[in-house]
Amino acid sequence: MPEKNWRTEFAKIWVKYWTAPARPTAGSLAFLRNKIVQFPKTNPSVLILGSTSEFRDMMIDLGIRPTVVDFSRDNYDILSGAMKYKDRYRENEAYVEADWRTMDLGRQFDIILTDAAFNVVPKDSNRQLLSNIVKQLLPDGIFIDRIHQVPPGYETFNFFEEVKEHKKDIDERSLYEVFGTPMYYAVQKEENEPIPLQEVAQLSDECLLRGLITREQYDEYRRLGKHDAEGFVFFLPTSAFVEERVREFFDVAETFVDRDWPFYSEFYPVYLMKKK
């Protein structure tokens, strides 16, 4: 479960500094909202895995009272600080403290939403995760997850050369926004193996040493907390791994890529899944 990655201090940093692409992009949120509005049942029941503030704000906008499952009440309350409606979430949600892999909520839902659950649960647990999500989903329900992954065609990816190519983009945005998930791929030694965040952080050190980013840009990246994230890992699978594993449990009805996100958008597809 992501508790090894989501300690109290890291959650506070997440609320303060992290944005897309680690958080949902505007296009992926628009896709998700459209699917909820188009759902054939009026006022569908919604389960949110994790405390993703964007999803929870959307539920308030849509007049839906969701159930939110997180491993920690502290984590839930801290991440609620990123909400637009941070003063209303307690009255608008049912909160359950549980492990997504073993939760038993005593009911099933029309819609299950999560963002990168596949990536933050340990690799050896993703079958257990998906199997348990199936149990929580009504027969005609939908499950939506944005799954970070390595798409085909990146076998010769050279991070430092890419940084040179994107200097103007880094100046206008940030090293993090341009190279969010590709930085994980740049340090991955074996295909489909979890990646320590501290190793990713070391890429920013090397960029500074090579003169590829300014000290200000380096400091901006460092405030994300990856340098101090001892023991924190992120599972970044290949697209082939994701497809094979997901289709063991679900039919993939639709895959959406937010092409309006200007940097490596194919690393962040959204899967809309249904029960087999």
Instruction: Give the lowest-confidence range in 4-13, 51-60, 183-192, 227-236.
Output: 4-13
pLDDT higher at 187 or 230: 187
pLDDT digits (tens, 9 = 90+) for 139-189: 999 999 999 999 999 999 999 999 999 999 999 999 999 999 999 999 999
> Residue 8 — very low, low, confident or very high, per pLDDT cuts 50/70/90?
confident
% the chain with pLDDT above 70: 97
Which residue is it, tokens 């380096």? 218
Peptide bond into 21 cis (omega under 30): yes
> Residue 7 — very low, low, confident or very high, per pLDDT cuts 50/70/90?
low
The residue type at 180: G
Residue-level pLDDT at 249 = 97
Let me know if 53 is exposed, middle or buried by CB neighbors in 10 A (0-12, 13-18, 19+).
buried
Count, residues in the chain: 276
- Mean pLDDT of the chain, nearest integer: 95
Architecture of domain 2-149+237-275: 3-Layer(aba) Sandwich (3.40)
67 alpha carbon, distance to own chain's centre: 18
Does residue 44 sit in helix, strand or coil? coil
Q: How many CA atoms lie within 13 A of 38 on its CB side?
A: 7
Which residue is it, tokens 């939403």? 113
Which residue is it, tokens 């939760």? 103
Helix or strand (DSSP H, E) at 233: strand 233-235
Q: Is the pLDDT of residue 4 over 60?
A: no
Which residue is it, tokens 């508790």? 3
> Residue 9 — very low, low, confident or very high, per pLDDT cuts 50/70/90?
confident
The residue type at 195: I
Q: Is the pLDDT of residue 2 over 60?
A: no
| Per-domain residue ranges of the chain | 2-149+237-275, 159-235
pLDDT digits (tens, 9 = 90+) for 14-71: 999 999 999 999 999 999 999 999 999 999 999 999 999 999 999 999 999 999 999 9
Residue-level pLDDT at 6 = 57
